[in-house]
């Protein structure tokens, strides 16, 4: 998304987006039906300053760790020291994929694993709020907060435009 991103640290997370009832109806358009209604999910990667650098849109029934490898592949991690995510991304396969690029992972282990979190940099984990703030900025746009687009491509274009607007004040 930007060639001027500060990629020292990269933060990834996902957020649910409600879909309007008229946006549904077509298959394979990243809108699924769940208990909460029709919705999609934006998977977002942000840089050290909280600016979006890459995003993917999937249906909300797909778990975060299944989409994360594609998101990590789409981000150039050669200049990245640490990739930080929440417990939803706790997967050994994902850790191996990230560490192949000589990037450290800062993903806490789930409570049901046998290993501990001694390796965690908790200060850096607290800075993960940057990705949450980026979602808050994106959701200020009405067309992003609720998906009104029937086609996935149209919604992706809207999200890309909102990401560009977040880079403009710089």
List the domain boundaries for the chain: 9-167
Q: Rounded to an integer, what distance in angstroms lies between the CA atom of residue 140 and that of residue 124?
A: 26
Give helix 129-138 / helix 152-167 axis angle, nearest 10°: 110
Sorted by sequence, the CB contacts under 8 Å of residue 140 that are 6+ apart come out as none
Q: What is the mean pLDDT of residues 66-89?
A: 92
pLDDT, one tens digit per residue, over 115-150 is 888 888 899 999 999 999 999 999 898 888 877 776
Mean pLDDT of 61-73: 88
Query: How many CB atoms neighbour CB 100 within 10 A?
Result: 9
Choosing among 3.50.50.60, 2.130.10.10, 3.30.420.10, 1.10.1740.10, the CATH entry for 9-167 is 3.30.420.10
Res. 96: pLDDT tops 80: yes
Predicted local confidence at residue 20, as pLDDT: 59
pLDDT higher at 72 or 4:
72
H or E stretch including 142? Answer: helix 142-145
């Amino acid at each position: 998304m930007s060639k001027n991103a500060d990629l020292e640290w990269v933060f990834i997370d996902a957020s649910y987006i409600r879909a309007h009832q008229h946006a549904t109806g077509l298959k394979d358009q990243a809108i699924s039906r769940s208990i909460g209604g029709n919705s999609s999910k934006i998977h977002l990667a942000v840089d050290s300053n909280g600016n979006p650098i890459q995003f993917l849109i999937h249906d909300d029934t797909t778990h975060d760790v299944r989409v994360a490898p594609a998101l990590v592949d789409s981000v150039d991690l050669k200049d990245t020291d640490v990739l930080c995510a929440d417990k939803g991304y706790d997967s050994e396969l994902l850790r191996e994929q990230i560490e192949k690029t000589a990037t450290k992972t800062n993903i806490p282990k789930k409570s049901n694993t046998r290993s501990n979190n001694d390796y965690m940099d908790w200060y850096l984990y607290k800075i993960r709020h940057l990705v949450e703030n980026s979602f808050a900025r994106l959701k200020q746009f009405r067309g992003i907060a609720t998906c009104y687009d029937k086609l996935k491509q149209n919604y992706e274009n809207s999200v890309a435009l909102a990401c560009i607007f977040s880079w403009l004040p710089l």
